[in-house]
Amino acid sequence: MNIFTKYAKWLHTQWPAGRPEKLPAVNEDGSTNVRGLYVAGDLRGIPLLKYAADSGARVVESIVADSTFQSRRKDGDPEIDIAIIGGGVAGMAAALQARKHGLNFRVFESNEPFATVVNFPRNKPIFTYPEGMIPAGELTVSADIKEALVEELKGQSADIEVVGADVSHVRKIEGGFAIESSKGEIARARRVVCALGRSGNYRRLNVPGEDLGHVYNRLHDPHDFCEQRVTVVGGGDSALETAVAVARCGADTTLCYRGREFSRPRRENVKMLEELTSDSNAPGRIRVLREATVREIRPGEVSVETGGQSSTVPGDVVFSMIGREPALDFFRRSGVHISGEWDTQKTIGLTLFVLFCTALYNWKSGGFLSNLTYQHHLWPVSMKDDFSAVLSNPNSLVSVLVTSAATPSFWYTLAYSLLVTIFGVMRIRRRKTPYVRVQTYTLMFIQVFFLFLFPEIILPWLGKNAMLPQGLLDALFPAVEYGNGREYWRAYGLILAWPLNVYNVFTQQPLGWWLVIAFVQTFVAIPVLVYYWGKGAYCGWICSCGALAETLGDTHRTKMPHGPATNRLNMFGQAVLAVAVILLALRIAGWTMGNNAYALNQWFPGALNHYKWTVDVFLAGIVGYGFYFWFSGRVWCRFMCPLAALMHIYARFSRYAIVSDKKKCISCNVCTTVCHQGIDVMNFANKGRAMTDPECVRCSACVHSCPTQVLSFGQIDRNGATTKIDRLSATSD
Ligand SMILES: Cc1cc2nc3c(=O)[nH]c(=O)nc-3n(C[C@H](O)[C@H](O)[C@H](O)COP(=O)(O)OP(=O)(O)OC[C@H]3O[C@@H](n4cnc5c(N)ncnc54)[C@H](O)[C@@H]3O)c2cc1C
Ligand code: SF4
Ligand code: SF4
């Protein structure tokens, strides 16, 4: 391993890199890109009964609240208000809610009502997580054993009429949808709720013999297998529950798992497995083969490879329990976007937006479009002429404002501040936690005051009216002939530290006070912040890029790509940081060598200009913002920002971590899915490891979204033991 690979591993590539599962792309209210088509239940990502019931009821509330649904039915509109596809927990909860609102609805079910639950193994224990949660709507889930649960669910929905039909897709028509099966159109409805669950498509092992008659994907009654030699393949809840159930009946049981640790299943299931692997008095014992890959299934035996060695295990019956895939084809046929998948519409949208950002950043950064507005005295340059009548007093607030407003950057930062404020308020309403409230108000204040009002209006006005000491003004904001008479834009450097903002440091002559400020920020204050609270103390609480990502970008966070390749791409920021460090060294050399470095001093402004157009305009502006709505709001922060790259190094020595209560984790992957820094949070949480990936920006989405409240912000010691949990709660009020 060469030194670069070792460094990359130490910094970025050693961390888990699991990907979120592909699911239909669904908004928080259950709606999708197909207007009028909603999704409820397991397809929303959380595989729990209570969440399924809750989302079913809430989706109907979203439909009822939609003004276009409430408006009067037009002639020719479908008779049925809501078609509910899937008569499981979510579908029935939606049906009960629709009935409560007096709506005309139909439930279409391909199997039987509550088929998934009915097919749970006999006497399966039911875990009704989260314990304190009361789902919205009328359907309650409280039983603790399968048979009682089926009775409880059927009892509450006995009078809901269910139409037997295997729906293949839905098709948009005038006023609603046509519901299609293999037999053609079977109904029409104004709105559709898809509550198909994930019981349909079993994952395949893709090995010879998988389709033999003794291979099953589901256990109905363990008593059918008491006398047999059973091999169960898998390492999740279903696999463990199957192995435990058949072993307890007395079957000779082998569990083949390709991983080492059982980190995904519920703790109760792991405990039961452990009892049956260690307790010799238990009714049935389970042989567990870890890191074992199934190669072939033959009558009576299964060929397995463990650590490069082949062996066979007995298998009169084989259960392949390696999970189920959502019915993505149903959604593709219905026109619903799948998370992470691309189509022509998305590609065109991305291309057009990147072109828009190219024009915007060219104009804002003094490029070709900016020159055009200057040359032709177009807006906003012409503002000063337009307002000349009121500018008789050059020191008045209006004069200062109009002068500042004659530059594109004034309008850019005004628009930026408005976006942070408007979407910040929306974020506070959406994510009701003390942490999000305090964090978002802080971001909004820093953006509006320090990154707009102060440099653009307040500071120039104070300066012009001699309300600030002359020495301070001369030291920090040198006099110039244009604008408000001084380089007040340098005040952005009070918040945006080197090397995010290089312009107060890379000057032709050193600006002493700015060098001191930049040094303290980058090499004293930020390291201290990162040591105690992680890189997110700056990226998630102070920086303007973070402010926009956490507000405007809040609903786009699931679009960040995950996986080993993007973890390697995290190293790109190190390259940008290296360029900034080389420029710093050259700049210091130029200053200290004076006339001896004439060539270097001549060359430096050109190099800085290249750096500006490559890093600030192209990478931060065009790529960072151009990709915003397709790859999340943190593309620049994660992959390219040189200050973040420096903080990643600091963060490797930090005490900050996201700590987890492993026993509560149900391995639902929600935390990984919502992480817009691409961190595989689940892989830390379900093993009880503190999450110390330096990419974390403390956004709190994982902590807030976890359905079983596993995660907390905190601090750890060198051995990884938790020393502190943050007081500001990031879980719901
Ligand atoms: C083995 C197992 C054990 C579990 N244990 C627990 C537990 O202990 N605690 C817990 O909280 N959760 C548990 N779960 C998860 C829980 O069962 C689900 O969260 C819940 O059933 C999801 O409800 P749903 O309505 O979204 O989907 P489902 O309950 O799966 O219902 C979907 C329905 O849609 C129907 N359908 C599918 N496709 C079509 C189609 N094209 N046309 C018409 N109908 C269709 C299906 O037949 C099914 O009836 C378990 C799941 C499994 C598989
Ligand atoms: S707080 Fe959680 S979701 Fe946010 S960046 Fe950190 S790990 Fe990712
Ligand atoms: S920690 Fe992550 S995987 Fe575990 S329950 Fe919470 S969201 Fe799901």
pLDDT of 390 strictly over 80: no
Q: Write out pLDDT tens, residues 539-579.
A: 999 999 999 999 999 999 999 999 999 999 999 999 999 99
The answer to whether domain 215-320 has CATH 3.50.50.60 is yes
Helix (H, G, I), strand (E, B) or coil at 34: coil
Q: Is 699 in the pocket of ligand 2 (CB under 6 A)?
A: yes
List the structure tokens of 625.
């913002």
The CA-CA-CA angle for residues 165, 166, 167, to 5°, reads: 100
Own/partner pairs, 337-344, CB within 8 angstroms, 24+ separation: 337/24, 337/25, 337/32, 337/33, 338/22, 338/23, 338/24, 338/25, 339/20, 339/22, 339/23, 339/24, 339/25, 339/558, 339/559, 340/20, 340/22, 340/559, 340/561, 341/22
Greater pLDDT, 640 or 276 = 640
pLDDT for residue 475: 95
HSE on the CB side for 712, CA within 13 Å? Answer: 14
Q: Is-same-fold flag (37-194; 215-320)?
A: yes
Expressed in angstroms and rounded, the spacing between residue 59 Cα and the centre of ligand 1 is 17
List the structure tokens of 673.
């899915």
pLDDT of 72 strictly over 70: no
For 358-382, what is the mean pLDDT? 87
Top mutation candidate among 570, 700, 705 for ligand 2, by most atoms within 8 Å of CB: 700
The residue contributing the CA closest to ligand 2 atom 5 is 696
Q: What percent of the chain has pLDDT over 90?
A: 81
Beta partners for residue 659, in sequence order: 712
Expressed in angstroms and rounded, the spacing between residue 721 Cα and the centre of ligand 3 is 20
Can you state the percent helix, strand and coil of the chain, rounding each to 5? 50, 15, 35
Helix (H, G, I), strand (E, B) or coil at 714: strand
Q: Write out pLDDT tens, residues 77-127.
A: 788 999 999 999 999 999 999 999 999 999 999 999 999 999 887 888 898
The residue contributing the CA closest to ligand 2 atom 7 is 696
Q: Residue 356: pLDDT band by 50, 70, 90 thresholds?
A: very high
pLDDT of 218 strictly over 90: no
- Ligand 2 atom closest to the Cα of residue 700 is 1
Q: Write out pLDDT tens, residues 371-386.
A: 888 888 787 877 777 7
Q: Is 706 in the pocket of ligand 2 (CB under 6 A)?
A: no
> Which ligand has an atom closest to residue 706 CA?
3
The residue contributing the CA closest to ligand 3 atom 4 is 665
Top mutation candidate among 116, 194, 269 for ligand 1, by most atoms within 8 Å of CB: 116
The separation between CA 99 and the C-alpha centre of its own chain, rounded to angstroms, equals 35
Ordered by start, the domain boundaries in the chain are 37-194, 215-320, 344-376, 391-433+444-481, 507-733
- Ligand 1 atom closest to the Cα of residue 197 is 27
Measured CA distances, 385 to 204, 263, 370, 389, 580 (Å): 72, 68, 17, 8, 40
Measured CA distances, 487 to 151, 481, 655 (Å): 75, 10, 39
Q: Is 706 in the pocket of ligand 3 (CB under 6 A)?
A: yes
Expressed in angstroms and rounded, the spacing between residue 194 Cα and the centre of ligand 1 is 12
pLDDT of 608 strictly over 60: yes
pLDDT for residue 729: 92
Where does ligand 1 bind, in terms of residues with CB under 6 Å? 41-42, 47-49, 52, 85-91, 108-111, 115-117, 120, 126-129, 166-167, 195-197, 199-200, 237-238, 327, 330
DSSP state of 13: I
Tracing tokens 């083969």 back to the chain, one arrives at 289
For 241-254, what is the mean pLDDT? 92
Q: Which CATH superfamily, name and number, covers 37-194?
A: FAD/NAD(P)-binding domain (3.50.50.60)
- DSSP assignment of 169-195 equals EEEEETTEEEEEETTEEEEEEEEEEE-
pLDDT for residue 701: 97
> Which ligand has an atom closest to residue 534 CA?
2
For 399-404, what is the mean pLDDT? 91
For 31-42, what is the mean pLDDT? 97
- Ligand 3 atom closest to the Cα of residue 46 is 8
Expressed in angstroms and rounded, the spacing between residue 117 Cα and the centre of ligand 1 is 6
